[in-house]
Amino acid sequence: MKRIIIALLGISLVFTSCKKGKVEISGCTDSSALNFDPLATIDDSSCIYPVNTSLTINFSQTVDGVDLTTDTMIYTNSAGEDYSIQTLKYLISDITLHKDDSTSILLKEVHFVDIRNASTLSVDFGELQDGNYTSISFTMGLDTAKNISNRYVNEDFHATMFWPEPNGGGYHYMKLEGAYTNDSTFYNTHTGGTMGGDYSFNNNSSILLNVNNDMGDVIIDINMEINNWYQTPNEIAFSTYGMGIMMNMQKQMELKQNGMTDIFSVSVNQ
């Protein structure tokens, strides 16, 4: 008799063992919660979660302070040339957050931004550790240590940002292209390590970001104001580009100086 009961029990267990919720134990069933109960089968909404601060960095682009519109000749540079923007791709490297205790966190070695690819315009860096962050720094382009041919051969941007050896090797820092004056005259503002020179530049922006454990998500926006490439201190006209500026050290220097002046602005949204 006993045996039969045990056998029956066994069989009934076999039937129920794979079905969830037959033997009901209520509690918190989410393993990411602080009070996760591994025995619980029914969630009773009692889960308690740690409050994380997750960091997102957005890369935005404006012309004269207004969000970029592509493919229409609605912009005018400081030299008075009307222009449109069709392509904008650039590399931002060494994106680093700095704390008041003089430690820093390198968020990403190189980030490729392509205005035609929404997934490159926003990067989720996940949880941000507590601390008082006082500045964010990054490099426009690649410094000499990084700007080496084939260094990023397995990255998406390898082919499209390729800068051939006869021009110094490495990668384009930026490809900004479109038409000017009329629809069939094109400009290519291509910056890079012309003849092995280093025309990348660093941007360091102060921020007020005190992260503690009961703070929500944080978004840092890095905006490029495109028209500023062409005005201060050097007024740059597309009509002076000649056959192109990839070998033109003077133009690369002028673009770098303009870039350092006011191309980027950083804002923090909590």
| Cβ closest to another protein, residue 157 vs residue 264 | 157
C-beta separation of 23 from 41 below 8 A: yes
The reply to whether 25 sits near another protein by the rule CB under 8 A is no
Provide the minimum distance between the beta carbon of 3 and another protein in the complex, in angstroms, as a whole number.
Answer: 7
List beta partners, residue 106. Answer: 96
Binding string to another protein for residues 32 to 71, with x set by CB under 8 A, is what?
---------------------------------------x
Closest CA to 190 of 170, 179, 168, 175: 175
| Cβ closest to another protein, residue 45 vs residue 184 | 184
**Part of the chain binding another protein (CB under 8 A), chosen from 54-62, 158-166, 205-213, 221-229:** 158-166
Helix (H) or strand (E) segment spanning residue 99: strand 87-99
How many residues interact with another protein (rule CB under 8 A)? 36
C-beta separation of 174 from 191 below 8 A: yes
| Cβ closest to another protein, residue 103 vs residue 184 | 184
- Helices (H) and strands (E) in the chain — how many of each? 2, 15
Helix (H) or strand (E) segment spanning residue 127: strand 122-127
The reply to whether 14 sits near another protein by the rule CB under 8 A is yes
The reply to whether 165 sits near another protein by the rule CB under 8 A is yes
Name which position in 41, 56, 120, 167 contacts another protein (CB under 8 A). Answer: 167
| Cβ closest to another protein, residue 146 vs residue 172 | 172
Largest CA distance in the chain: 101
| Cβ closest to another protein, residue 51 vs residue 243 | 243
DSSP string of 49-74, one letter each residue: -----EEEEEEEEEETTEE---SS--
Find tokens 């004056």 and name the residue: 181
Cα gap 138→90, rounded to integer Å: 13
Name which position in 1, 118, 159, 214 contacts another protein (CB under 8 A). Answer: 159
Provide the minimum distance between the beta carbon of 47 and another protein in the complex, in angstroms, as a whole number.
Answer: 26
Cα gap 165→147, rounded to integer Å: 11
Helix (H) or strand (E) segment spanning residue 250: helix 249-262
| Cβ closest to another protein, residue 87 vs residue 261 | 87
Contacts of another protein in 175-194 (CB under 8 A): 177-179, 183-188
Cα gap 199→238, rounded to integer Å: 19
Name which position in 195, 207, 247, 260 contacts another protein (CB under 8 A). Answer: 247
| Cβ closest to another protein, residue 183 vs residue 262 | 183
- List contacts with another protein (CB under 8 A): 3, 6-7, 9-10, 13-14, 17-18, 71, 86-87, 150, 153-154, 158-160, 162, 164-167, 177-179, 183-188, 243-244, 246-247
